[in-house]
Structure 1
Amino acid sequence: MAEDRPTRVLVFTRTTGYRHESIPAGVDAVRALAAEDGLAADHTEDAGRFCPDDLASYRTVVWLSASGDVLDADQRRAFGDWLAAGGTFAGVHGASTAERSWPDYETIVGARFTHHPEIQTAEIHVEDADHPSTASLPTLWRHTDEWYDFEDNPRGRVHVLLTVDENTYDGGRMGTDHPLAWTTTYGSGRGWYTALGHSSEHYTDPTFLAHLRGGLRSLWR
């Protein structure tokens, strides 16, 4: 990794909406994954950290199931400027439920959550097996999670990595093309989002951790 880049990661978990019980497990997992690559991860729910001086200390900002409106106008501007100038953003699971009153956040995260049916097992298809977050996954991955629907299909404005087959579970509303994980761009910044990761046990599951590790490494390496 380039030595002139920051060696810290910020994990942001502030919630003003639904709060996932898996957040502590997710924070522990991101800290461990960062340590594997010689990085330190700071955890915060303080939106005041979204200021130019603080953001300059970080290589990647991870929104780990943050929900609701969590930043004020100045904090949004600082985060958007930092990302557009070449920062990197990771959104995990509930991150797509955040910042509904900030139009630019949809570009940052890729799509906005609308609904999910009950937790159940479904089949995930790898669409791009060359990305670090999918390279070690089975081509057809049977996984149990909370299957997010979105306001619209983000394909065309994001690069889709994973899709879920709605024929393999009940309650999906996206149709035959249902993206689950993708990459984004925002100015010169890069992003990665996965809708997976609802439950605490996901953050000790080797297959999910391979997905998360690859997504994060694609940003901070």
Structure 2
Amino acid sequence: MKNLIILFVFVFAMQTSAQNQFNVLLFTKTAGWHHKSINEGVTAMRAMAERHSFDMQWHEDATRFNDDFLEQFDVIIFLNTTEDILNEEQQAAFKRFIQSGKGFVGVHSASDTEYDWPWYNQLIGKMFHIHPLEQSAMVDVVDTNFPGMEIFPKRFLWTDEWYEFLPEEYSKNLNILLSVDEESYDPEVQWGEKIGKGMGDHPISWYQYFDNGRSFYTGLGHIAEIYKDPWFLHHLYGGIYWAATGNGIKK
């Protein structure tokens, strides 16, 4: 009996000490374009979870979006999701999740998702319109007072797929972190009748407090090799950390 008690205490202590700092749901469902970089993104997220001591589950099954399942998580990540991926019941559960004070992270084509859902349009902040060919461009750091931004110089060279966003102002509360300099690359593109000429002022990453929760978005993350880049991974983890905990912004 004494040995059983000792064993129980040992197992309980091991479980307690092994607890991680927060829980993440990584969601990569696509109903349109499927990015080849999703596989690399999932691999990078698994390594990040080990490195930064958080728990992560990866799913593409939208039926998981119910109150009972989502309750265990602190943040939901949409990594290169596209188009309509949740039905009305699943949308309602996701909305309640954010309203309970939890977080959301959108990566790249998360802004090419759920166009017909106004609440999501506000949550993500801006919606994708068009993009030119992958190019190198200069990126300007707008705000360093955010987790993950402290390592960047004021201006740096980056190669990615540069999203031009729709002109609609879905949210007035966006805090811009990064912007891309359109004079450093060619933003002009045409897909049939859809034309892109650039945005002038061109934010590419931002965060906001929204509907009692937290939302972070980065437009970086199209190219598979980016998910091996330490700068990008630090940028992404900063957003995840803040969205999950609300910590890291110096007041």
What TM-score do you get using the length of structure 1 for normalisation?
0.93
1:220 aligns with 2:244: yes
Percent identity over the alignment is 38
Q: Bigger shift: 89-98 or 154-163? A: 154-163
Call closer, same or farther: CA 1:153–1:133 in 2, change over 3 Å: farther
1:128 aligns with 2:143: yes
Q: 2:81 and 2:98 mapped to 1: Cα distance?
A: 17
1:82 aligns with 2:97: yes
Q: Contact (CA 8 Å) 2:24, 2:55: kept in 1 or not?
A: yes
Q: Contact (CA 8 Å) 1:153, 1:174: kept in 2 or not?
A: no
Other structure's SS at 2:237 match: helix
Match of 1:205 among 214, 221, 229: 229
1:71 aligns with 2:95: no
> What residue is the counterpart of 2:210 in the other structure?
186
Please, which runs of 5 or more residues in structure 2 have no aligned partner?
1-18, 189-196, 246-251
Deviations 1:22-42, CA, capped at 9 Å, x for gaps: 001111212222222321111
Q: 2:106 and 2:134 mapped to 1: Cα distance?
A: 20
Q: Contact (CA 8 Å) 2:22, 2:244: kept in 1 or not?
A: no
Other structure's SS at 2:177 match: strand
Tell me how far 1:113 sits from its aligned partner. 0.2
> What residue is the counterpart of 1:20 in the other structure?
35
Aligned 1:137-216 pairs, distance under 5 A: 137-152=152-167, 156-171=172-187, 173-216=197-240
Instruction: State the aligned residue count.
Output: 219
Deviations 1:131-176, CA, capped at 9 Å, x for gaps: 1131111211100000001112758331111100000000253433
Deviations 1:80-130, CA, capped at 9 Å, x for gaps: 111011110000001000001111111111110000000000000000011
Q: Contact (CA 8 Å) 1:128, 1:134: kept in 2 or not?
A: yes
Tell me how far 1:53 sits from its aligned partner. 0.5
**RMSD over equivalenced CA pairs, Å:** 1.9
Q: Contact (CA 8 Å) 1:10, 1:61: kept in 2 or not?
A: yes
Q: Bigger shift: 134-143 or 145-154? A: 145-154
Report the structure number with the largest CA radius of gyration.
Answer: 2
What TM-score do you get using the length of structure 2 for normalisation?
0.83
Q: 1:153 and 1:209 mapped to 2: Cα distance?
A: 29
Other structure's SS at 1:135 match: coil
Q: Bigger shift: 38-47 or 155-164? A: 155-164
Q: Contact (CA 8 Å) 1:8, 1:40: kept in 2 or not?
A: yes
Please, which runs of 5 or more residues in structure 1 have no aligned partner?
none
> What residue is the counterpart of 2:194 in the other structure?
none
Q: Contact (CA 8 Å) 2:187, 2:198: kept in 1 or not?
A: no
Letter in 2 for 1:69: D
Q: Contact (CA 8 Å) 2:26, 2:59: kept in 1 or not?
A: yes
